Amino acid sequence: MRNRKIKLGVNLDHIAFIKKSRDTMYPNLADAVKITEEAGADSITIHLREDRRHIQDKDAIEIRECAKVLNFEMANTTEMIDFALKLKPDYCCIVPEKRDEKTTEGGLILPSTNTLKFKNFSDNIKKLSNEGIKVSLFIDPNIESVQVSKDLGADIVELHTGHYANEFNTINEFEMIDNITSSAEFADKLGLLVNAGHGLNYENLNQLCKIQSLNELNIGHSIISQAVFTGLKDAIKKIISIINNCD
């Protein structure tokens, strides 16, 4: 039995994508936040990309005004750090970003210690921390990335589960789970909170939820896909029920 409940952050980017695709006022993002919270999600996640392909600046501000807990994903750029300092989300998750990718394809490539890049990165984390924003780094599940995240001053690591999701139901699935488990245990020992996300869905969640040190899962695409058929509230309730009954 788990001794702590795994939280759920729901990523609303795909709802913003529908809005952006026609530049309409709908679907209403404040309604999406309300339904998501009422369904039992612990936080709202959005990713303001440099190319603004889904969430727009004004969407982020609207969502900040109504979300109880906001996790703001962004690249480590001056523009985004400045935006986050004004937005004041509860959490900032720093992610790598490539223009031509469909979605975030891997974890951050973290700088080596004693380099200028390391100092700049750690200074940016400090700027956010000084405003009371908890900082999370989206990393591939390996020990070195966890250690560098700690050295950089992060509060949280979000382990990239995309490779696990891609290898689910193949012979490599167990190796992927082992990598996530050992990284999670190591991060927990270092005093970091451990989140995970990417590519998680109603089928592949179960294995992951057995990891004791897991604090929160961030899930977007599969929930919004399910919501097309059953509505957002039921789609979220269904995934929470899987998370809570994984033992």
- Please identify every residue annotated as catalytic: 47, 73, 198
**Under the criterion CB under 6 A, does residue 36 sit at the interface with ligand PXP?**
no
Map residue 42 onto helix, strand or coil. coil
DSSP 6: P
In the complex, the smallest distance separating the C-beta of residue 116 from ligand PXP, rounded to whole angstroms, is 26
Of the candidates 152, 150, 149, the one whose C-alpha atom is nearest the C-alpha of residue 119 is 152
**Under the criterion CB under 6 A, does residue 158 sit at the interface with ligand PXP?**
yes
Of the candidates 110, 155, 158, the one whose C-alpha atom is nearest the C-alpha of residue 135 is 155
Of the candidates 227, 171, 180, the one whose C-alpha atom is nearest the C-alpha of residue 201 is 227
**Under the criterion CB under 6 A, does residue 104 sit at the interface with ligand PXP?**
yes
Instruction: Give the per-residue contact string, 9-28, with ligand PXP (x = CB under 6 A; - = no).
Output: --x-x---------------
Q: Which of residues 171-230 bind ligand PXP (CB under 6 A)?
A: 197-200, 218-222
Binding residue for ligand PXP, selected from 72, 91, 121, 138, defined by CB under 6 A: 138
User: What is the pairing mode between strands 91-94 and 156-160?
Assistant: unpaired
Give the span between the Cα atoms of 42 and 36, in whole angstroms: 9
**Interaction site with ligand PXP (CB under 6 A):** 11, 13, 47, 73, 93, 95, 103-104, 138, 158, 197-200, 218-222
